[in-house]
Chains A and B, each alone.
Chain A
Amino acid sequence: MNLIGLYPTWFEPGISSGWVVGIIATVHVLFSHTSVGAAIFFAGLAVYADRNNKPEYLDFIRRYGMFLLVFSYVLGSITGPGIWYSTTVASPRGISALIHSFVWKWATEWVFFVIEVVGVYMLVYLAGKIDRKTHLRIAIIFALTSYTTMLVIIGILSFMMWPGQERWFAEGGYLNAFYGGNTFAQLGMRTAFMFTMTAVVGGIVAARFDDPVFKKAVTTRLSWLGIVSTAAGAAMLQWYLNTLPETAQVVMANRLPDRFAPTLLAVLASICAYFAVTMWKPRLLTPAVATVATVVLLVFGLWPEEVARESMRKPYVAGQYVYSNQIIARDVPGMGITSEIPRIEAHGLLKTQVFTPPGLREITPANQKQVGEFLALSTCSNCHSLSATGMRPLARYFGGNTDVAEISQYLQAALSTGATIYMPRIPLRDDEAQALATYIASLAPPKLTAGAPVPGARIATANAAPAAEGTAR
């Protein structure tokens, strides 16, 4: 069989499909981490209230519980499958690789989800109707169950970066895929930051308390939780970074903008400062302030983190064998997986793809640009927008160059050989490279296509491409 398993491509011209996934994933991280953190925080508060006879803390749980129900379980439970949906349409073979390796783990997580949902409804609706010890036990079950959902997903997220054990490639097996140094480092980091998010979002509820003494007591606890978890998260982040594979380190050094590290430090420091202020002056904590803090955390904390994670695993999207453009690029004998690259080299991309339109299987002068567009869609658009907006627009990398021969030469030199570290190897045949170059040349702005080369326009070369990549971000 000479076919490769590429699906049709979905291209979203406004913000591109990759960012759609990113946005949904980021929002989900906020909801899911907050819900897990709040579940554990609830259980702690319930234990404290029970031991110290402080029923007012149970009132906090009731109020926060209702908010949590909507905030986390309405939105979290939808955006969770939403990540599946968005990756299904943006990166079907990436999600398929995860699904087929971890189906039982996800099914196990599903058992915990069901328990979690029953638990949270009981915590809210049976508060005051069942005895305190039973309510406490349900809070503990809810907390433990919530945390298990994080335990399950962490290994899958780590596999996206790198299979847990190198021997997975030779032996296969779920355990080798799931457990690695990165798994536990990421678990520690996400656990810490999950409490940070809980403390920030919890402020929205605490801000509404009328009793200043009680408000101060709750705010103080949330603030300490936030400060300690942020500091712990910063330390865990260092651990996490040290567990990243070498290629990820190289990509980070070359791809992430210089401002990334200082921005991250500034965000962490700002979070600590925010908690210090709300602890010092609880009256400053209003629902509006807490809401703004949540949005700031989402935009300046979670979004860059998710973007960085997405970038670091390039050129792969899952398990270091599925390229971001969905081509399987490596043999995994332990799973019976063979690379598709040799097939593409032998027969070309047009002949091997299932969804190549019949009229584009043979390249002619008349369909050359159309073939190029098809190739760009299927091999480039996962990471490079084909329009002027969205994720890393393809046209920007060629500086308005309209010389088809030069572009084709670059494609053959940098992509067909796999010479660019974070880019997939795309073995283009000569006529395919020519067609793709024709299409890329057509993306140049009209004013650049009319005359002589424009001053400053850069001919893309294998060496220059990474620099362009850096500036385009």
Chain B
Amino acid sequence: MNAEMLYALRDPAGIPSHPLVFLLLAVLTFALHVAAVQVMLGAGALVLRGAFSAQPHWRRLAATMLNTAKIAVSVAIVIGVAPLLFVQVLYDPFWYTSNVLSARWVIGFIVILIAGYMAMYGYYWRNPNLATQPAKSSWMMMLSLALLLLVGWIMHVLSYQMLWPEQWQQWYAPQGRIDASGSGLHAYSVARFGFFVALSAPVTGAWLVAVRRYLQGAGAGDAAYLAFLARLARGLMLPGGVLALVVGALWLLTLPEKMAFFATSPWMLAALVLLLVAVALPTLLGKHLERGLWGYAVFGVGAVALIAVAAAREVLRYTLLSGVHGYDALDYTINMDWYSTLTFFITFGVLGGVTLGYLLTVAWQAGQHRGGDASLGGASAVYTPSAAVTRLGRWSVGLLVVWIVHYFAVGFYTMVR
């Protein structure tokens, strides 16, 4: 598959902004998506660990993590839409070919994901009081985790097959006979997949550090439970983090020849250093974790490290495809469209910022409100936001109305022009 063939597959409609914009958004949103995936996997594993334990702290954690896992799946799916969109924009020849060649698995992805998510909900419905009562139907949670890992594997293969255009023809027509069944998974890297899965341990550890700080702020956790969380989080972050780095190193050491440059790429090395800083941070911070925002800073630094990993992953793809295969994703034809470009950035920055800011502030403060959660031993007084937060809410509604009015106004203008 030479460069001329790859360019022939590129969509002739071009793209409505500079490709670098899409590339950066792809990296950023992939990092957010993979963070949610890792929290989902880590929380799911903790649910199982807790469900099989008689220790009250583990049981309590299992109940909390079950809710976390459920929401993390939703968040992972929704955020995952963005990198899925941007990969199609920039790497359409690679993404579409890879998908078609494994089409049956692509369709299976949908079915398996639904089954995995439903199994998690099934487990939740079977165990409404996981903290206090023996776990029932734990096979559902095991099945859910297994299926979620399987969809992760499918996604890994689809992304990895993109990097092997020289093999596509052979996969499509082995020995010259066309196989249009899409039943094969043709290329994979266990070490690469293992690295992203292993990162679940430190990411979940960082998440637990933040959860602990949150409970502390809400006055909702007793000292023994908070100490339990601190121990567990440290264990997940440092040994778990080092294990993830070892798997990452294994990936770099086993890179195929055409990707060997990546093993010494400053991008990947910087990402690994950042990961190391993130996993060591709780130990370095010590008592500071108890104060101010330091408890949340660990997850923040971890997120930055994940963005660096996502950037390094993109460097591998871009450099390989442009250097070895002659396809430069950044020379995509631009059919600049200012209206839709600005609509996105204004919606994202202004409407999204204000509305999500309002919703998350309410959610946060309602949780921190003493007595806001009766299940944690507080009174049943409801939370009422401050006037400033309420104003933010009114702005959110107003901005949404303005957006809808603008939609019809622009439509009318376009129709009569």
Contact = CB atoms under 8 A, between A and B. Distances in A.
Contact of A7 (B100, B117, B333): B100
Given A1-B8, A24-B110, A108-B347, A8 B404 contact: no
B178 A130 contact: no
A49 interface: no
Interface string A70-90: 100111011111101110111
A10 interface: yes
A272 to B, nearest CB: 30
B169 to A, nearest CB: 7
Interface in A84-103: 84-86, 88-90, 92-93, 95-97, 99-103
B15 A78 contact: no
A104 interface: yes
A365 interface: no
A89 B106 contact: yes
Interface in B351-372: 351-352, 355-356, 358-360, 362-363, 366, 372
B88 A99 contact: yes
B88 A335 contact: no
Nearest to A105: B340
Contacts of A103: 15-16, 22, 85-86, 89, 340
B335 A336 contact: yes
Contacts of B407: 148, 151
Contacts of B404: 144, 147-148, 151
A144 to B, nearest CB: 4
B383 A141 contact: no
A175 interface: yes
A126 B181 CA distance: 48
A407 to B, nearest CB: 21
Contacts of B10: 5
A363 interface: no
B54 interface: no
B365 to A, nearest CB: 9
Contacts of A174: 16, 337, 339-340
B401 interface: yes
A442 to B, nearest CB: 15
Contact of A335 (B13, B355, B382): B13
Contact of A130 (B74, B95, B106, B383): B383
A99 B103 CA distance: 19
A303 interface: no
Interface stretch (B39-47, B191-199, B207-215, B390-398): B390-398
A175 B251 CA distance: 46
A121 B10 CA distance: 40
Contacts of A131: 382-385
Interface of A is mostly: helix
A102 to B, nearest CB: 8
A90 B96 CA distance: 10
Interface in B86-117: 86, 88-89, 92-93, 95-97, 99-101, 103-104, 106-107, 109-110, 113-114, 117
A141 to B, nearest CB: 6
Given A89-B103, A96-B88, A5 B8 contact: yes
A253 interface: no
A405 interface: no
Contacts of B103: 10, 12, 17, 89-90
B335 A172 contact: yes
A357 B169 contact: yes
A172 B15 CA distance: 12
Interface in B320-336: 333, 335
A354 B9 contact: yes
B366 A100 contact: no
Q: Max chain A CB contacts within 10 Å: which of B75, B117, B340, B348? A: B340
Contacts of A355: 168-169, 172-173
Contacts of B20: none
Contact of B100 (A8, A100, A101, A370): A8
B223 interface: no
B331 to A, nearest CB: 14
B355 A141 contact: yes
A395 to B, nearest CB: 17
B411 A184 contact: yes
Nearest to A101: B13
Contacts of A118: 356, 359-360, 363
B293 interface: no
A471 interface: no
Contacts of B390: 133-134, 137
Interface size on A, as a range, is: 35 or more
A92 B74 contact: no
A7 B107 CA distance: 18
A113 B22 CA distance: 19
B11 interface: yes
B388 interface: no
B286 interface: no
B172 A5 contact: no
Interface string B1-18: 100110111111111110
B343 A104 contact: yes
B80 interface: yes
Contact of A134 (B17, B85, B355, B362): B362
A374 interface: yes
Contacts of B101: 8
Given A99-B89, A113-B78, A328 B100 contact: no
A303 B331 CA distance: 42
A456 B180 CA distance: 33
A119 B71 CA distance: 12
A99 B335 contact: no
Contacts of A85: 99, 106-107, 109-110
29 contacts: A3-B4, A9-B100, A10-B103, A11-B180, A78-B113, A85-B110, A88-B95, A92-B96, A93-B11, A99-B92, A100-B11, A100-B89, A105-B344, A108-B347, A111-B352, A117-B75, A126-B362, A129-B383, A130-B383, A134-B362, A134-B393, A148-B400, A174-B337, A183-B411, A336-B333, A336-B335, A357-B177, A358-B169, A377-B180
Interface of B: 1, 4-5, 7-17, 22, 25, 71, 74-75, 77-82, 84-86, 88-89, 92-93, 95-97, 99-101, 103-104, 106-107, 109-110, 113-114, 117-118, 121, 168-169, 172-173, 176-178, 180-182, 333, 335, 337, 339-341, 343-344, 347-348, 351-352, 355-356, 358-360, 362-363, 366, 372-373, 382-385, 390, 393-394, 396-397, 400-401, 403-404, 407, 410-411, 414-415
Nearest 5 pairs between A and B by C-beta?
A10-B103, A89-B103, A3-B8, A104-B340, A92-B96
Interface of A: 1, 3-5, 7-12, 17, 20, 24, 70, 73-75, 77-82, 84-86, 88-90, 92-93, 95-97, 99-108, 110-115, 117-119, 121-122, 126, 128-131, 133-134, 137-138, 140-141, 144-145, 147-148, 151, 164-165, 172-176, 178-181, 183-184, 328, 332, 335-338, 354-355, 357-360, 370, 373-374, 377, 381
